[in-house]
Structure 1
Amino acid sequence: MPKTLEISKDELVRQAIQQMQDNLADNSWSIREKLALTCRILFEHGHDSGLAGQITARGPQPGTYYTQQLGLGFDEITASNLLLVNEDLEILEGQGMPNPANRFHSWVYRARPDVNCIIHTHPSHVSALSMLEVPLQISHMDLCPLYDDCAFLEGWPGVPVGNEEGDLIAGALGDKRAVLLSHHGQLSTGATVEEACFIAELIERAARLQLLAMSSGTIKPIKPELGREAHDWISRPKRYTAAFNYFARQILRRSNDCLN
């Protein structure tokens, strides 16, 4: 006889979480390697927009972070060609120059000590939604890690090179993990590179599904309590890592030059 047919949902959830903790694998890649893998993952998942977009992760010393060189596309990033910069975007390790728009990342890091990785990109569906000045609507189970966790910046401040834009974007993000930027793109954050990568991949998928649904009718909302339940069920470090490892395996089957 089955042993679980009379067990409550709460207990089944507890057991499943423990099984994930015991069975889902971690990884041993360095921060540089995870950033390079993330760039390749995002490129494959529709985040390519020429040279636009930045990815950063906190560096070994306070006020430092890793980022990619301006002039290289996400599909060209390797662990060895990343830069280490300070908050003035002065290069501490590496050659080349960072994207001047990286300045606003410093404002997010200062406002959010829980954030260790930031991904800012201009993927097609997010960008299209941003042109409509429409907030992201989460109405599907798979997208619920973003339920009540994606802010919306309605006004476009212009090119995000100044300190004013950093203050504005950090303020719009607030305590959420992502923000949709009108006439611009998206910003995703995470306590880990894996989490930020997961959120960035998800927000583009969410925008694509929203545009598809809007073209067919009116999106129906889900119940808030169920949205929050699904948010918490999916939003777990082990699941972020498992998803990241899966995406990384896809990249590494074709090429492992990003780890060089």
Structure 2
Amino acid sequence: MDSTTETRTEHSTISARGTSDYSNISVDTTNTTTFPTAEHIPVFNTFAEKRRWLLEEMAGAFRIFARKGYGVGLAGHISVRDPEHPDQFWLNPLGVHFGLLKVSDMVLVDHEGNVIGGSMKPVNKAGFQIHGAIHRARPDVIAACHTHSVHGKAYSTFGRPLEMLNQDVCSFYNDQAVHTEFGGIVLSLEEGSHIADALGDKRTIILQNHGLLTAGSSVGEAAFLFILMEQSCQVQLLADSSSQEKKIIPDHIAEYTYKADAYPEAMWAEFQTELQYETHMDPSYKN
């Protein structure tokens, strides 16, 4: 995962006859300018300020996930690497509904699974094994999201990546992995390591017969990638259920769209619109 801002063309030239023939489409990528975002990731002067910001976005992401129906019983977790102590990370407590989580509920754990700070509540063991392995393997990952969302679970049964069917799913072009060896509930370090190995250097992974997991250099990036991937699974399932022929976006256009729209700060900025609504509806997640 590269945190460097990608570029896009200021003027793109696309010409095609008909809506289903991509063979004569060309994209001018020679004149590049930085892709604009509505907001920029803030910079903080102290670890305490950055930690507070990370935890607010973490709690806000859970509230957003709750509104979207991603919560199922005790399943699902978001992890956030501590800015001051990168060998430690924050998790949600076990047994608290996504829609009730607040900053003060979050739990700090070390990479051995010991609860060492925050609310000191117990955490999901499977969540620790998955996220602990990812944070160990990927120093660039600040946050990771995993839930048992409906369409992610349904699509995961195929054990294959999403197809480039539309503009949104191009955000995963060459940036999605598939873990095809479901080993049951992740209660062992070995199984967590298998997931981390399958993720590799990608930001997203489909866990066969399990669901989705996304990772990012910010909470907003990881959370919006999850929202987008869940929606893309729904679209893929709908398209697959039709008898009509699908038109797949060609590689060069998918790659161009990925570079233009899916870089880390753009994903974070997309998440801010979701967080704005959540803050307007119920800002108690900040408590």
Residue of structure 2 equivalent to 1:129: 155
Letter in 2 for 1:109: H
Percent pairwise identity: 30
Q: Which moved more, 1:202-211 or 1:44-53?
A: 44-53
Closer, same or farther in 2 for the Cα pair 1:100/1:222, shift >3 Å?
same
Give, in whole Å, the separation in 2 of the partners of 1:5 and 1:52. 45
Given the alignment of the two structures, is residue 81 of structure 1 paired with residue 105 of structure 2, yes or no? Answer: yes
Stretch moving more, 217-226 or 147-156: 217-226
1:185 Cα deviation (Å)?
0.8
Q: Deviations over 1:17-38 (max 9, x none)?
A: 2xx26x5354586111010011
Query: Counterpart in 1 of 2:79?
Result: 56
What amino acid maps onto 2:39 in structure 1? L
Which residue of the partner structure matches residue 24 of structure 1? 39
8 Å CA contact 1:147–1:231 kept in 2: the answer is: yes
Contact 1:27–1:245 under 8 Å retained in 2:
no
- In structure 2, the residue matched to 1:176 is 202
The Cα of 1:82 is off from its aligned counterpart by 0.4
Question: Displacement of 1:151 after TM fit?
Answer: 0.6
- For residues 77-133 of structure 1, the C-alpha deviation after alignment (integer angstroms, 9 at most, x for no partner) is 111110011112211112210110121212111211111111111100010111233
2:12 and 2:28 in contact (8 A); partners too? no
Q: Does 1:258 align with 2:281?
A: no
Cα distance between partner residues in 2 of 1:236 and 1:6 = 19
In structure 1, the partner of 2:24 is none
For 1:259, the aligned partner's letter is K
Residues 206, 86 of structure 1: alpha-carbon distance in 2 compared, 3 angstrom cutoff: same
Residue 46 (structure 1) shift: 3.3
- What is the CA–CA distance in structure 2 between the aligned matches of 1:193 and 1:136, rounded to whole Å? 23
Q: Extract unaligned runs of 5+ from structure 1.
A: none
Give the paired residue count.
253
Letter of the 1:133 counterpart: G
What is the distance in 1 between the residues matched to 2:106 and 2:241? Answer: 40
Cα distance in 1, alignment partners of residues 279 and 113 from structure 2? 31
SS in 1 for 2:103: coil
Q: Residues 107 and 244 (structure 1 numbering): CA distance in 2 closer, same or farther, change over 3 Å?
A: same
- The question of whether the paired residues in 1 share the 8 Å contact of 2:221 and 2:265 is answered with no
Range moving further from structure 2, 179-188 or 40-49: 40-49
1-structure distance, mates of 2:185, 2:12: 58
1:170-192 residue CA offsets vs partner (Å, 9 max, x unmatched) = 11111111110111111100011
Is 1:65 aligned to 2:56, yes or no? no
* Equivalent-residue separation in structure 1 for 2:176 and 2:221 (angstroms): 14
Structure 2: which 5+ residue stretches go unaligned? 1-9, 14-26, 44-51
Partner of 1:241: 268
Asked if the contact 1:136/1:180 (under 8 Å) is kept, the reply is: no
TM-superposed CA distance for 1:6, in Å, is 11
Query: RMSD of aligned C-alpha atoms?
Result: 2.2
Partners of 1:140 and 1:188 lie apart in 2 by 20
User: Quick one: which amino acid aligns to residue 240 of structure 2?
Assistant: M
Cα offsets for 1:194-214 (capped at 9, x unmatched)? 110111111100100000000
- The aligned amino acid for 1:159 is I
Judge conservation of contact 2:161–2:178 (CA < 8 Å) in 1.
yes
Q: Is the 8 A contact 2:218 2:268 kept in 1?
A: no
**SS of structure 1 residue aligned to 2:65:** helix
Structure 2 SS opposite 1:30: helix
Equivalent position of 1:96 in the other structure = 121
Give the AA of the match of 2:120: Q
- 2:65 pairs, out of 42, 50, 53, with 42
- Output the CA distance in 1 between the equivalents of 2:187 and 2:238: 33
**Is the CA contact 2:11–2:28 (under 8 Å) kept in the aligned structure 1?**
no
Q: TM-score, normalised by structure 1?
A: 0.90
1:156 to 169, 172, 182: 182
SS in 2 for 1:80: helix
Judged with a 3 Å threshold, the aligned counterparts in structure 2 of structure 1 residues 226 and 87 are, in CA distance, closer, same or farther, namely same
